Homo-oligomer: A and B are copies of this chain.
């Protein structure tokens, strides 16, 4: 730790947010991927629907809502801001889940992400950096898993394990 703080190179900091849509049953078909609908198989539903977005920027694909933390901004505030900007949803009951730090997790360069879990009510709508925003069944992502950017397939798997078994991620 010989370099000054300002000159020190560290990973970038982002946030991602898992938004559980409490009235997802009414809103699940309100939005969808631009090229296909997301369907829920009623018999298999265990957890509420969560919000995913189609990214406008690189890397292209599907992801949890999120973005960079600004200097001077708390990460929790960045997560609330990004949720609103990208999905138009105002989230509530937001809690920190886990921080992911693997160097390979972001193809743009090394970035750590602080992941939050929150709830919202209503129909997500893709805006800002999101082409679309839609509700997906986390336990039945169908063909979406291959489209998930970053380490978000792992994050969602960890989230499911946490909700079903109460176990926190051991990743990192």
One complex includes copies of this chain to the number of 2
Is B172 a contact of A101 with CB atoms below 8 Å?
Answer: no
Is A1 a contact of B57 with CB atoms below 8 Å?
Answer: yes
In the complex, whether A6 has a CB less than 8 A from a CB of chain B is yes
For the residues of A in contact with B, the DSSP-based class is loop
Chain B residues near A69: list those with CB within 8 A: 10-11, 101, 112
Residue of B nearest to A14 (CB): B10
Chain B residues near A101: list those with CB within 8 A: 13, 69, 74-76, 114
In the complex, whether A67 has a CB less than 8 A from a CB of chain B is yes
Q: How far, in Å, is A70 (CB) from chain B's closest CB? A: 7
Is B68 a contact of A10 with CB atoms below 8 Å?
Answer: yes
Is B114 a contact of A1 with CB atoms below 8 Å?
Answer: no
- Which of A34-42, A102-110, A137-145 contacts its partner? A102-110
In the complex, whether A154 has a CB less than 8 A from a CB of chain B is no
- Chain A 102-143 interface mask (CB, 8 Å, partner B; 1/0): 110010111110100000000000001100000000000000
Name A's B-contacting residues (CB within 8 A).
Answer: 1, 4-6, 8-14, 57, 67-77, 95-96, 98-99, 101-103, 106, 108-112, 114, 128-129, 168-170, 172
Q: For the A-B complex with A71-B110, A74-B101 known, give 18 more contacts whose Cβ atoms are closer than 8 Å.
A: A1-B67, A5-B12, A5-B108, A5-B109, A6-B108, A6-B109, A8-B12, A8-B68, A10-B12, A10-B13, A10-B69, A10-B71, A11-B13, A11-B71, A13-B101, A74-B102, A74-B172, A75-B99
Q: List 10 A-B pairs, Cβ < 8 Å.
A: A1-B128, A4-B108, A6-B108, A10-B12, A73-B103, A75-B112, A96-B98, A96-B99, A96-B169, A101-B114
